[in-house]
Structures are given as structure tokens and as C-alpha cells.
Amino acid sequence: MNAEAIPLLYKFGYLAKAGERLKLASSLKSKLPFWREYFFNELSLFAHPDLPITFSTKGNNNVVILGHAFNPFSKTLDSQLVCDKLASFEEESSAFFEEMDELSGRFIVFAKFKNVWRAYPDGFSSKMRYFTKESSPTLSSHVNLLAEATGSSIDFDMYAFITSEAYKKKDVKNLPGLKTEFENVYVAPANHSLRLDNGALTRFWPRGNICHKDTELASNVLISYLDGYSDYIAQNFDEEIFGLTGGMDSRTMLAPLIAKGVKLNTFTQLRGSQSNLADLKAAKALAEKFNFSHRVIDVSSQDARVNGYFSESRKALRTNGGPHRLNTVFSTDALYNAYKGLNTLTNYSRGFGGEILRGFHQRNGKKLKVAEAEHFSKIMAIHAQTALSIDAFAEQISMLDYDNCYDADLYDLFYMEHRMSKWGANSMNETDVAVHTMVGFNSRKLYGASMGLPIKEREKRDSFKDSITYFCSELLKVDIV
């Protein structure tokens, strides 16, 4: 890999282990020449130099935060203040979790209480936690990085899965269960802590019933969240890259950014489908009405997909995404080439999380109450009836606690913990190459307020409309696709 690709490799990434100091393999040292080493009370870290790291010690408690963490509800927008508060709690107290539930950003919290280190995700689990399934696991942001650091071998059953015709035809490319392309390497999903002394996953959300019929509550929580989120963006970044579409999720995220005067540099990807052309028309209308900088990034043609197939940027993207993302990086590479000249402190707020708020898998209006491997396999819909897929989901069910989810819809939890914690979060590892990326809708408090509503109320998306009206009602005058 040449000098152009090295700065792109595992951008904003990390390696972590508790109890013993990490040692980089010689092959990695040449790929990570600028990475920094840290050691916090037996927590060993290697981190990309641009990854924010915050730490705090209160008595015998230790907290380390990797990434951006802030509380949009209390408007605690300083990660150090967040870190100090988390360190002040007792181990896994209700107050600790309530504070964690309100946080947004893109981060992992490492907390050591009573001599045990645990790793906690943000609501979306947008900062990946790949881990080796063993006592004293090693963690990493990127699957290839962890495999190379630990010497993990390719899983040939998973390799057969990702090279099959059924897999190639799917737009959302994901692997069954918590499995990855490598032997003994797994993904720690949303809503679960990971113990660094034995590799155990423990569910910590939901911690009680969430169902309610208070639509005003859902709107107020979303408005409060977006108010704090947009303040954080305005205070910490010079410019916001924004994927402009004609949809409701995009517009809901856009409204508070406009209200706060955030400098917006917008784009729309042209994919060639009829629905995408309608998206593009609406995006152009929005850009013209609000005088945004706007560009169209064409990824619709075969030439756009193949041109530069073996470029250094695509090599880095394939390495960052992992083997199961092998031929999906052309659109992100186009994004990289469009924005690689930026010299400002820039962020890209993706509209991820909106699907969680409005419900994605609840197409028949019925809640899922029991976790079954066969059903999970059918939802993913790639080799759904094969023993490989069913066994992988059976293993996921055995590793996670689905018997203690109170009245939450397991469709929602499956979508959060399988699709978004794996496919969604990993795709952000790729867009990091172009520009630092955060989930626009990311907080367990936010998710719970919407997930608790009946699905018919969620489908109306009234909280989205109320938020747009509150921040920038003019956005509703351009047709929503």
C-alpha cells in the first residue's frame, strides 16, 4: 500500500485490550506509523491520531471515552464533562445508565469499576466493537485490523457466503448472526456491554417497559435531541457535509442545522433509479431555495463503478470495510474523491437512526415477542433456510439476552442490533475515509420515546414533521419524496 493510502487506513480507528499491553505485529507497524499508544490503568490502546480520547478518574473508578460523546438533552457538549460525570457513578447504577442513554455522538465508553473493564456503545453502536471470542478479548474498530493484530484466519464458510450469487444480489450486504469473515471474531451489538476480562456480552437496554401512547412526548424528545445535536455540530465543526435527499429523515436532520446557521456543503448521489431521480429533483429544489452548496455525485453507470477499481483509495476502503464489503465501496470512493481536498474541521451527519424511530421491520403491524433463529434468518433474507445462517442466528440468540426485553418489539431490537450495529456502523468506517461521520439520530432515550409508540403512530412520522416545523417550517414547502 503506497503513501497515498496509508493516511486513509483505519481512520479514527483503535485497538484495545485489558490486563496486558498490546504489541503491534510488524506488518501493522508499517501500516499505522502515526498511531499513538496509551495505557490507562491496565487498559492498553492503540489509536488513530485524529480519534478524540478523553479519560477521567474518580476514586477507584476509571472512564475512557474514544470518539465524540455529548449529552444533547442537558447540552453537556464537552466530552471531558461527560467523562467526569460517568466516572462519578457507581458500577452500572441506574443513574449511570440513564446518563449513558441520553448521550449522542459516536463513541465507546470504557469504564472500570471494581477492577473490571467494560466497553459500552453509543445508542446506535456506531463506533464498531469487533472482538475476539475468548477470555481477555482484543477489541478493534475494524475487522481486518483485528484479524491482522490477532492472527485470526478467514472463515471459509463465511467466505462462501459472501461470494455466493444470493449475497452479491443484495444491496445491504451483511453476515448472519454476530459473525464476521474471520474465525473467532465477532461484533458486539448495540445495547450490550462487553466485559474485557472474559468477553461476556450483557444487555443493559431496555431496562423496563417502554410502550406508551404519548405522541407529544415523542415529538418533544426529538426536538430536544436535535436542538442539542445541532449545537454540538455548530460548536465543534467548521463545516457540515450533508447528503441531501427528498425524504423525511434527511429533512428532519437538516432543519436544526439550518436554524443554527451551520455551514452546509451538500451532495446527492445519482444512482439512476426512478425513485432516486425524484430524490435528486427535490434535493436540487432544496438547494436552490436555501442557497446551499450542492453537487451531484454520479454513481449510476457501470463506468462509475469500475473506473478506478484498483485505485489506492479503493484499496484502503476495502481494507477498512472488510471482505464482506468487497465490491460496495464505489459510491464511498466517489464521495472521497469529491471531498478529499477539504482542509477544514468537517463532519458528515448521516440520516441513520431515522429508520429505528419510525420502525423498519414492522411491516405487518404485529410485534415480535420471541427470538427465533429461523425467523431472524428470514428477515435478513440471504440463504435464509440454510443451516449456516440459522446456526449463526442461534448463536447470536445464545450470546444475547432476548428473554429480558420487557415490552420492546424484538423487530426493533433486531434491526438495531443486527443490521445497524453491523452493516450500518461498518459502512461508517468507510465514509470516515472521506470525512468524519456521525449518526444523525443517535440516543437510546430518543429511540425509546419513538419505539414505545404503536407502529401506526410511528408510521405517521408526526414527530419528524413537528421537528421540521419547529426548526425550519420552510422546508415543508418543498415536496417530500
**CA 452, CA 150: separation in Å to the nearest integer?**
41
What's the pLDDT score for residue 149?
Answer: 96
Q: Could you give the angle at the alpha carbon of 433 between the alpha carbons of 358 and 239, nearest 5°?
A: 70
**CA 439, CA 459: separation in Å to the nearest integer?**
21
Contact 466, 223 (CB under 8 A): yes
What's the pLDDT score for residue 151?
Answer: 94
DSSP structural state of residue 208:
S
Cis-peptide into 206, omega within 30 deg? yes
**CA 424, CA 372: separation in Å to the nearest integer?**
23
**CA 281, CA 9: separation in Å to the nearest integer?**
35
pLDDT band at 480 (very low <50, low <70, confident <90, very high): confident
What's the pLDDT score for residue 90?
Answer: 83
Question: Does residue 344 sit in helix, strand or coil?
Answer: coil
**CA 126, CA 146: separation in Å to the nearest integer?**
17
One DSSP character per residue, 78-109 reads: -HHHHHHHHHTSPTT-HHHHHHHHH-EEEEEE
- Give the pLDDT confidence of 315-330 residue by residue, as tens digits: 999 999 999 998 889 9
What is the set of domains in the chain, with CATH numbers?
6-152+193-203 (3.60.20.10)
- Give the pLDDT confidence of 389-435 residue by residue, as tens digits: 999 999 999 999 999 999 999 999 999 999 999 999 999 999 999 99
CB atoms within 10 A of CB 326: 15
**CA 346, CA 173: separation in Å to the nearest integer?**
28
What's the pLDDT score for residue 360?
Answer: 76
Cell numbers standing for residue 165 = 450469487
Contact 47, 13 (CB under 8 A): yes
Question: Does residue 16 sit in helix, strand or coil?
Answer: strand
Range in 80-89, 157-166, 334-343 with the lowest mean pLDDT: 334-343
Handedness of CA 253, 258, 263, 266 (dihedral sign): positive
What's the pLDDT score for residue 362?
Answer: 63
- What's the full length of the chain, in residues? 481
- Give the pLDDT confidence of 461-471 residue by residue, as tens digits: 999 999 999 99
Contact 126, 438 (CB under 8 A): yes
The contacts of residue 67 (CB under 8 Å, 6+ apart) are 12, 51, 52, 105, 106, 107, 108, 122, 127
**CA 56, CA 297: separation in Å to the nearest integer?**
43
459, with CB counted inside 10 A (0-12, 13-18, 19+), is middle
- Give the pLDDT confidence of 77-126 residue by residue, as tens digits: 999 999 999 999 988 999 999 999 999 999 999 999 989 999 999 999 99
What's the pLDDT score for residue 216?
Answer: 98
- Going by C-alpha positions, the residue among 342, 330, 356, 318 that lies closest to residue 436 is 342
The contacts of residue 7 (CB under 8 Å, 6+ apart) are 34
pTM of the predicted model as reported, rounded to 2 decimal places? 0.96
- Going by C-alpha positions, the residue among 312, 343, 319, 321 that lies closest to residue 428 is 321
Handedness of CA 354, 360, 362, 365 (dihedral sign): positive
Percent of the chain with pLDDT over 70: 98
Q: What is the mean pLDDT of residues 137-165?
A: 96
pLDDT band at 361 (very low <50, low <70, confident <90, very high): low
C-alpha distances in angstroms, 150 versus 25, 185, 465?
A: 9, 10, 48
- Give the pLDDT confidence of 175-229 residue by residue, as tens digits: 999 999 999 999 999 999 999 999 999 999 999 999 999 999 999 999 999 999 9
Cell numbers standing for residue 254 = 437538516
Give the distance from CA 176 to its chain's centroid.
Answer: 18
Cell numbers standing for residue 15 = 485497538
Q: What is the mean pLDDT of residues 6-16?
A: 94
C-alpha distances in angstroms, 379 versus 166, 174, 297, 322, 361?
A: 14, 12, 31, 23, 8
- Give the pLDDT confidence of 436-468 residue by residue, as tens digits: 999 999 999 999 999 999 999 998 999 999 999
Q: What is the mean pLDDT of residues 246-258?
A: 93
C-alpha distances in angstroms, 461 versus 10, 215, 468?
A: 36, 10, 11
Handedness of CA 126, 132, 133, 134 (dihedral sign): negative
DSSP structural state of residue 416:
I
